[in-house]
Amino acid sequence: MSAHGTPIPMTARASGPLTGVAEVPGDKSISHRALILGALSIGETHVTGLLEGQDVLDTAEAMRAFGAEVTRVGTGEWRVHGVGVGGFAEPEQVIDCGNSGTGVRLIMGAMATTPISATFTGDASLNSRPMGRITDPLALFGTQAVGRAGGRLPMTLVGAESPVPVRYTLPMPSAQVKSAVLLAGLNAPGDTVVIEPEATRDHTERMLRGFGAQVAVEDTDEGRMITLTGQPELTGQRVAVPRDPSSAAFPVCAALIVPGSEITVPGVSRNPTRDGLFVTLLEMGADITFENPREEGGEPVADLRVRYSPDLRGVETPVERAASMIDEFPVLSVVAACAKGTTVMRGVKELRVKESDRIDAMARGLEACGVRLEETDDVFTVHGMAQVPGGATTHSRLDHRIAMSFLVLGLVSKSPIRVDDGGPIATSFPTFEGLMDGLGAIISRDPA
C-alpha cells in the first residue's frame, strides 16, 4: 500500500544517457524544522524552497493543530505565525504524522514541556517504529507517555507541568532524538545539555541559533556537547531551504551508472554532517565536481556536475561515517552492485528501524535481482557485477527510499525492475517521476 492510498506499481527499464539539470526539492530535515521553529516563534516566519512532500505537509497540519497559523503562499513558499515557546494549544484531534518519524519525534519534543496532552498516530510503517528512544529522555523533563506495547504509536503524551532541564547522552546516533531533547529544552528553565558520542546532522542547532536561542557546541572527551539555554524568546525568521542531498542522491547515483550520462544538480546542501555519500562516491572513483560553492539559508551549498563513471570500485565505509550518510545506504548499495569488487558498509544497524528495515528490504530486493550480498546486524556487504540481471518485482515496504533505489537500479539492469508500490515516493520527493523522465530515464506506472 502506498502511504495514503492504493499501491502504485512502477517499472524502470534500461535507459539511454541521462542528461540535463535535476532540480531536486528542498531539504526534508530543514523543512520540518522551519515549520516547527516557526510555530514556536513570535512573529512571522517566511519559508522559501519548502519541501511539499507528504511528510512535511503532515507537520504543517500538526503545527496548525497546536495553534500556529500556517499558510501556503506559492510553490514552496509558506508563512508561519507562531505562538511562542510554551505557547502550544492542546490539539482537539489526534495528530497524524503519516509516514514521518522525523515529524512525530520532533513534534513530541516540541510539546513535551508544555502542560497539554496530545495523541499521535501514523501509517503502518510509522506505527511499527520505536518511540521509546524519544519518550525515555522526555520522561527526564517530567513528560508522561502512554503508547502501545514496545513503545509504539498510537501514543499519548502529557507535557510536563514544571519541566526541569536535562543532561542526556545519546544512546544511538540519532538527530531526531537529539532534536527532540533540544526542542523540549526550549521550555525548561536553565541549561539542557545533549552529548552525542557520534556527530549527527546539526540542522536543529544551526536553526535554533538562527531563531534567537543560545546554543553552545563544544567537542569534549565524551563527544559533541550541545548546551541550550532554556526559555528564550524565538522570533520569526526568513528561511531559504537548500535542496536535499538525500534526494539529490537518486539522480546523482543514476547518472554515475547509466552510460554516457552527464547531469547538473544545482544548489545542493553540502553540510558536512550530510556529506558521507559524496565522500564515499568520490572514493569509489565517481566523476562528481562541486561547482560554485556558496552559502544559502545558513548552509553550505554547491552545484553538482555528475558524469557517467565506468570505473567505479567497491570500498569500505567506516562506522564513523554512517551517520552522515544514514539515508543514502539504500542507493549506495545499488551503486555498489554496479561497481567492480565488493563494498562493505559498516555501522548500519540504525537502518533497521527506519521507514522499513532498510538492510532487509535492500538485501531481499537485490537478491531477487541477481546480486550477491551478505548481511549481519550492523554490516552490509554487496558484491558488484558487470551487469545486474534484474527482471524482478521488489517491495518498497512503505519506504520511499527503497522504491527510488530499485527504480534507479532498473535503469541499468538487463531486464526491467518492478517496484510493487511507488506511492511512498511522494513523502519526500513528489517530483521524482517528472524529474527522472526529464533526464531521459524510462520509469513508468503499471496497471495495479
Least separation in angstroms between residue 242's CB and ligand S3P is 14
Q: Which stretch binds ligand S3P (CB under 6 A): 82-90, 156-164, 170-178, 287-295?
A: 170-178
- Secondary structure of 248-266 in the HEC alphabet? HHHHHHHHHHCCCCEEEEE
Is the Cβ of residue 192 or residue 309 nearer to ligand S3P in the bound state?
192
Q: Is 350 in the site for ligand S3P (CB under 6 A)?
A: yes
Is the Cβ of residue 55 or residue 433 nearer to ligand S3P in the bound state?
55
Least separation in angstroms between residue 28's CB and ligand S3P is 7
Is the Cβ of residue 97 or residue 441 nearer to ligand S3P in the bound state?
97
Neighbouring residues of 120: CB distance < 8 A, sequence distance ≥ 6: 94, 95, 96, 97, 104, 107, 108, 153, 154, 155, 156, 157
Rounded-to-integer distance, Cα 152 and Cα 168, Å: 22
Q: Is 27 in the site for ligand S3P (CB under 6 A)?
A: no
Q: Which of 196, 205, 287, 327 binds ligand S3P (CB under 6 A)?
A: 327
Interface size with ligand S3P, residues (CB under 6 A): 10
Q: Is 394 in the site for ligand S3P (CB under 6 A)?
A: no
Q: Is 201 in the site for ligand S3P (CB under 6 A)?
A: yes
Q: Is 192 in the site for ligand S3P (CB under 6 A)?
A: no
Least separation in angstroms between residue 146's CB and ligand S3P is 22
Q: Which of 96, 244, 327, 399 is catalytic?
A: 327
Is the Cβ of residue 102 or residue 113 nearer to ligand S3P in the bound state?
102
Q: Which of 175, 228, 325, 404 binds ligand S3P (CB under 6 A)?
A: 175
Q: Is 356 in the site for ligand S3P (CB under 6 A)?
A: no
260's torsion region: left (phi>0), alpha (psi -120 to 50) or beta? left
Q: Which of 35, 39, 326, 334 binds ligand S3P (CB under 6 A)?
A: 326
Residue from 199, 144, 146 nearest 170 by CA: 199
Rg for the chain (alpha carbons), in Å?
21
Could you identify the residue written with the cell 501514543? 155
Least separation in angstroms between residue 325's CB and ligand S3P is 10
Rounded-to-integer distance, Cα 43 and Cα 20, Å: 40
Rounded-to-integer distance, Cα 423 and Cα 438, Å: 20
Cell numbers found for residue 93: 484531534
One-letter amino acid of 320: E
Q: Report helix, strand and coil shares of the chain as percent, to nearest 5.
A: 35, 30, 40
Residue from 109, 126, 4 nearest 66 by CA: 109
Is the Cβ of residue 355 or residue 421 nearer to ligand S3P in the bound state?
355
Backbone phi, psi, residue 292, to 5°: 55, 50
Q: Is 102 in the site for ligand S3P (CB under 6 A)?
A: yes
Cell numbers found for residue 361: 528490504
User: Are 391 and 356 a contacting pair, CB within 8 Å?
Assistant: no
Bridge partners, residue 10, by sequence: 419, 445
Q: Which of 45, 99, 114, 176 binds ligand S3P (CB under 6 A)?
A: 176
Least separation in angstroms between residue 359's CB and ligand S3P is 14
Site string for ligand S3P, 294-313 (x = CB under 6 A): --------------------
Is the Cβ of residue 287 or residue 328 nearer to ligand S3P in the bound state?
328
Cell numbers found for residue 38: 516557526
Alpha helical stretches, state H, 300-387 = 329-337, 358-368
Q: Is 247 in the site for ligand S3P (CB under 6 A)?
A: no
Say whether 327 is catalytic. Answer: yes
Please report, as ranges, the residues that interact with ligand S3P according to CB under 6 A.
Answer: 29, 102, 174-176, 179, 201, 326-327, 350
**Residues annotated as catalytic (active site), given as ranges:** 327
